[in-house]
Amino acid sequence: MLKISIIGCGAIGTEIAKATDKKIIPVELVSVYDIIPEKAYDLISLLKNSSPIVAENLIQSVKLCDIVVECASQTAVKEIAEVAFPLKKDIFVLSIGALVTYSWILRSAEKFGCRVYFPSGAVAGLDGLKAATFGKIKDVILTTRKPARTLLGKDIKKEKVVFEGTAKEAVQKFPVNINVAATISLVGIGPKKTKVKIVADPKIKKNIHEIEITGDFGKIKTRAENVPSLLNPKTSYLATLSAISELKYVVENIKKKGK
């Protein structure tokens, strides 16, 4: 059975670990690591059928597994890539903004013959976007609306556009909130051409992502109204579910290929 380690034991890492424990994802969870050790111990206390170790550091966690599952931060992705690729380990990334911020990561994976997997996150329509790249795309525009308190840490009376620019700039200015911009860029026309608008909205309780794609194929518009995760209001619950779904797909396919 394939072995995974989870780096980052917060909202998403915990749900992925529970999905491995229930055998929804058919892998062996061998280790967990968090810069706050209590988070790692809290996570393993929730598991009933598996007993991963709490790694002392990131390097130990990477060495123990076949696929490193990152659910921590952009910095963690960078640190993992530096250790994992020379050891020929594939990585599964949640903090997708890192793949835009540190563009060397994808080049390094290729150089070492490793794979970088990532889930669709809290949006719909990436299948259509991917297909459209085989024709001519005129525009990809992401409009993200989040509750004002989540985005600004305070209440406001009227909605406020807090950012308008390219996905590349959005990822740098909102590293925690805007993984979706990075995902769309990587699947579509790249971070410098993808346009992003971020709106703080005092009237909503959900994280809303609208994608508009125009090209020689016509037009696609999608809208996902996301319930925030119970453990982390900045994370949409659908992002967690998409991580579970994609990781399950990845490991089942690796198994079919007999690796």
Sheet strands side by side (includes 195-201) = 160-166, 195-201, 137-147, 207-215, 218-226
Task: Find where tokens 């309780």 sit.
Answer: 205
Q: In sequence order, what are the residues at sequence separation of 6 or more whose Cβ sits closer than 8 angstroms to the Cβ of residue 259?
A: none
Residue number with the smallest Cβ distance to ligand NAD = 10
* Residues marked as catalytic: 209
Closest CA to 202 of 159, 153, 144: 159
Closest CA to 75 of 41, 101, 57: 101
For the chain, the first-to-last Cα distance in angstroms comes to 10
By CB under 6 A, name the binding residues for ligand NAD. Answer: 7-13, 33-36, 39, 58, 71-73, 75-76, 94-96, 121-122, 176, 179-180, 231-232, 235, 239
Closest contact distance (angstroms) between CB of 256 and ligand NAD is: 25
d(CA 189, CA 177): 21
Nearer to ligand NAD, 40 or 215 (CB): 40
SS3 139: strand
Closest contact distance (angstroms) between CB of 93 and ligand NAD is: 8
Nearer to ligand NAD, 32 or 213 (CB): 32
Closest contact distance (angstroms) between CB of 176 and ligand NAD is: 5
Nearer to ligand NAD, 10 or 52 (CB): 10
Nearer to ligand NAD, 35 or 124 (CB): 35
Closest contact distance (angstroms) between CB of 238 and ligand NAD is: 8
